[in-house]
Amino acid sequence: MAMQVARRLVVFVKRPGGQSQFSAALAAQTSAGGAFDGLHGWMASNLNGDLSVERLAEEARMSPRNFARRYVDEVGRTPAKTVSAMRLEAASRALAESRRPLKRIALDCGFGSEQNLRRAFVRSFGVLPLDYRERFASALR
């Protein structure tokens, strides 16, 4: 129940086109029972930076090996999967809520290039980023 309430508070408007109200950061925090809350907040604020296991371990003040093991044990997925989900969530939100160019979104969300963003979108959502924008950005028209 707490997760349902939190999801509603994270995104307070109903999304168009049946888009789900989901937050990768919120899901990661909930599954970790709060152990990595601070780290998840830091990750969400630094998506365009270095989010390697080594850098995340440094931020968590742990060795990379211990961090990776504990993270999987407590969150239920690898740090890389969480980073990817957070970046995809930020990019999909930017596509739906702004008219920023794809290149700018790719850089801001940590994909490095439009090509990397396209690959990640097709792999995760089965659709190209601009098609996603067309489908979910009805409020921008």
What pLDDT score does 35 carry?
80
CA distance 70 to 54: 14
Q: What is the pLDDT of residues 44-73, one digit of tens each?
A: 999 999 999 999 999 999 999 999 999 999
Domain boundaries, the chain: 2-140
Closest CA to 10 of 111, 79, 2, 104: 2
> What is the rounded CA–CA span in Å between residue 28 and residue 77?
9
* Amino acid sitting at position 126: G
Tokens of 11: 């995104």
> Which CATH number is correct for 2-140, 1.10.10.60, 3.40.50.720, 3.90.1410.10, 1.10.760.10?
1.10.10.60
In this predicted structure, which of 15-29, 48-62, 118-132 has the lowest mean pLDDT?
15-29
Per-residue pLDDT tens digits for 105-116? 999 999 999 999
pTM above 0.85, yes or no: no
Q: Which helix (H) or strand (E) holds 49?
A: none
Higher pLDDT, 140 or 61: 61
Q: Is the pLDDT of residue 77 over 60?
A: yes
Residue 17 pLDDT exceeds 70: no
Residues 136 and 96: beta-carbon distance below 8 Å: yes
**62 phi, psi to nearest 5 deg:** -140, 165
Q: Are 63 and 75 in contact (CB under 8 A)?
A: no
Only one residue has tokens 């957070």, namely 86
Cβ atoms 51, 43 nearer than 8 A: yes
Check residue 25 and give its pLDDT.
Answer: 53
